[in-house]
């Protein structure tokens, strides 16, 4: 049997921008992507703390150490600059493997979106 479990999480980051006319996705500071083990193009779930919205898109890297968290395309309608979000990815694995799997979870500084 296989189960779907949390693979990565960036817990509580501040949205720095929302670009409705960009093709789509979420731009994430490359340092945060590396620390949380999220790769370019990976499907991510977004949870907006401010308004309760939950939606999916895919990740693209932003400039290193920029703190950038920008929702692009239609996802831009689900957030406002300054909202606090959680970014989550999931992986599918065998049940026994999942019991001992440890996800990559990071807790950035909410004001700067950087790791301290």
74 is in an annotated binding site: yes
89 is in an annotated binding site: no
Could you give all domains of the chain from N- to C-terminal order, each with its CATH number?
2-106 (2.40.40.20)
Backbone angles phi, psi at 40, to 5 degrees: -55, 130
Q: How far apart are CA 44 and CA 65, in angstroms?
A: 20
Catalytic hit among 8, 25, 36, 66: 25
Catalytic hit among 22, 45, 58, 104: 58
52 is in an annotated binding site: no
Q: How far apart are CA 68 and CA 17, in angstroms?
A: 8
Per-residue pLDDT, 24: 78
Is 90 designated active site?
A: no
**What does each C-alpha distance from 7 to 42, 65, 105 come to in angstroms?**
11, 23, 8
pLDDT at 23 over 90: no
76 is in an annotated binding site: no
Is 58 designated active site?
A: yes
User: At which residue do the structure tokens 């300054």 appear?
Assistant: 82
Encode pLDDT of 28-78 as tens digits: 999 999 999 999 999 999 999 999 999 999 999 999 999 999 999 999 999
pLDDT at 4 over 90: yes
Which pair of tokens denotes residue 114?
Answer: 């950087």
């Amino acid at each position: 049997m296989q189960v779907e479990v949390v693979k990565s999480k960036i817990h509580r980051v501040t949205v720095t921008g929302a670009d409705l006319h960009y093709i789509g996705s979420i731009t994430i500071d490359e340092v945060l992507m590396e620390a949380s083990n999220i790769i370019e193009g990976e499907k991510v779930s977004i949870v907006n703390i401010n308004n309760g919205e939950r939606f999916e898109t895919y990740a693209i890297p932003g400039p290193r150490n920029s703190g950038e968290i920008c929702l692009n395309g239609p996802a831009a309608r689900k957030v406002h600059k300054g909202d606090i979000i959680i970014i989550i990815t999931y992986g599918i694995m065998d049940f026994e493997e999942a019991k001992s799997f440890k996800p990559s979870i990071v807790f950035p500084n909410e004001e700067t979106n950087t790791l301290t």
